[in-house]
Amino acid sequence: FPVIVLVAVISIFIWLQWAITNSEFIKEFLFGERPTEIDEINYFLFTKYSGLLLLGVFPCFVCSRLLPQYSFSDYGLSNSINLVSFYWILAMGIIIIILNWLIAKKKKTHLICPLILKHEWNAKRISIYSVSIGVYLFSVELLFRGILFFPAKG
């Protein structure tokens, strides 16, 4: 029974994240009818960090309350560093950066991802976007690989 409640609660968190990401009402409420470049950047960051909370932190909290017999290490979180995984992540990160750099030059990509053309990209902005996307992807991976796949283990 706790697993069913957990999946239902997580479904609500996923829906809330989808609503925040796709809501024109929230955009207008936060930034008005004509958002500036800074507003668009802040909204992008808002969606990523709300994803951290709604798809990572809150589901972990609910999971720890509904299934207290399990620790966070059972969901894939631990203090130890697996160097093999780290090297794979580093290698894949380098490959993805190179591929994105090559793809970003194509006009077709600009139609799919207009954010590429909207802003002047400097090292600070790239760092801010990279960290926010990394945090968001960590929470999504934790949710799907750790929390939602966890009931399938047992």
pLDDT of residue 77: 74
Q: What is the pLDDT of residue 26?
A: 81
- Cα torsion at 144, 85, 99, 132 (round to 10°)? 50
Give pLDDT, residue 153: 57
| Listed residue (18, 51, 57) closest to 132, CA to CA | 51
| Structure-token pair, residue 95 | 């490959």
Sequence-distant (6+) residues with CB within 8 A of 61 are: none
Q: Please tell me the distance from the alpha carbon of residue 134 to that of residue 48, in angstroms, as a whole number.
A: 9
Low-confidence residues of the chain, pLDDT below 70?
1, 104, 109-119, 150-154
Q: What is the pLDDT of residue 140?
A: 87
Which residue type sits at 146? Answer: G
pLDDT of residue 154: 55
